[in-house]
Structure 1
Amino acid sequence: MRDKRFIAEHRGGPLKKEQHYQLIQWACDCSEHVLHLYGEKVDERLVNALNTAQEWKLGNSSVGHARKASLSAIAVANESSYTSTIAVARSVGHAVATAHMADHSLGAAWYALKAVKNEGKSVDDEIKWQNEQLPLEIKDLVLTARKAKKFEII
């Protein structure tokens, strides 16, 4: 079930526009933090997706454009056979999809953690880093949503 706290005000929910912008920035930060795990040459579609997310945050891109960029990032994941690159691409896809639905930000963070785990690195350190990036205005929202979803890394 969808957490109604992530529904934007203009859609009848409690999420303020500034919080939505903070969520997409946090999601992008989580994805960018693990982008190096993709490999030596990052697929341009992932870079474009992250740029689209930033443009949306600035009001220079539509939600529709962000959704298309998200689908391009997911296509990168679907074309890959390496678990870490799949997780990184899915993280990016969720980050840009945050423009469409704010709770996709949680998916960006989760897939970033999955990429870290796939590479044998410390998931606890990555969770700590992610939490430190959270602005105070959305910290409780994200942390309680993670707890409610039993934010486990498979």
Structure 2
Amino acid sequence: MRDSYAIDLSDDDLREVTDFAARCARAVLPIFERDVPSDERAREAIDAAREFAEGGTRTSALRTSAWGAFRAAQVAATPAASEAAHAASAAAGAAFLHPLAHPDQVKHILGSAARAARAVEVEADDARGVGEAYLEEELPEVPPAVIEVLRRYPPAPNGGGRVGELMRLLDAYLRASEPSSPPPE
């Protein structure tokens, strides 16, 4: 691969992205736990993501927790619980953002947020507009560092159904937001 396709990405960048993703997933974890109280896999994925974000290392256990939450989503009792588990899986997967200029990498940055918005929307009887309102009003604050990382990548890819739509809405909004001020010298 040519160097022009590489993205500058530090461990601090990965930790910021993963912390944001974990906060998004934690916000909808009660939906999953209410419907599947005996299944710890979504919580374990979020906890693993938080551990990485707080200075831990990327390990196979982190990746395994992401897959565990993904499998929990496949057997969740309700569609909303499934989306919440997918948000947890995406949170743990955020630590594996690759420094490649490819649109699919945006899923590592915004996937948990989009899945959380979709979980809330499905919980509200699939009412259109609820996901957008969640992204505008209830989404955990997106740190400037996460927006800066996002801007290094191409825009979110097409496809992905309703989750993809929500991701593209959030992506466009964040890219259009005011750039953060330069740090004081």
Match of residue 152 from structure 1: 165
Match of residue 36 from structure 1: 30
Aligned with 1:114 (options 100, 118, 121): 118
Aligned residues: 144
TM-score normalised over the length of structure 2:
0.66
Runs of 4+ in 1 over 6 A off after TM superposition: 143-146
Match of residue 123 from structure 1: 131
Residue 150 of structure 2 corresponds to residue 137 of structure 1: no
Query: Is the CA contact 2:15–2:55 (under 8 Å) kept in the aligned structure 1?
Result: no
The 2-side partners of 1:106 and 1:53 are apart by: 14
Deviations 1:72-120 (A, max 9, x none): 1011111224110110101100100111226423211111111011012
Aligned partner of 2:146: which letter? I
Query: RMSD of the alignment, in Å?
Result: 2.8
State percent identity of aligned pairs. 20
Residue 109 of structure 2 corresponds to residue 105 of structure 1: yes
Larger helix proportion, structure 1 or 2? 1
The 1-side partners of 2:72 and 2:122 are apart by: 17
- Following TM superposition, by how much is the alpha carbon of 1:50 offset from its aligned partner in structure 2, in angstroms? 1.1
Larger CA deviation: 54-63 vs 23-32 = 54-63
Deviations 1:1-47 (A, max 9, x none): xxx99xxxxxx531222221110011011111111222423631111
Distance 1:145 1:133, change over 3 A: farther
- Following TM superposition, by how much is the alpha carbon of 1:147 offset from its aligned partner in structure 2, in angstroms? 5.4
Aligned partner of 1:139: which letter? I
Report which of the two structures shows the higher radius of gyration computed on alpha carbons.
Answer: 2
Larger CA deviation: 80-89 vs 114-123 = 114-123
The 2-side partners of 1:134 and 1:106 are apart by: 10
Aligned partner of 1:72: which letter? G
The 2-side partners of 1:51 and 1:119 are apart by: 23
Query: Is the CA contact 1:66–1:100 (under 8 Å) kept in the aligned structure 2?
Result: no
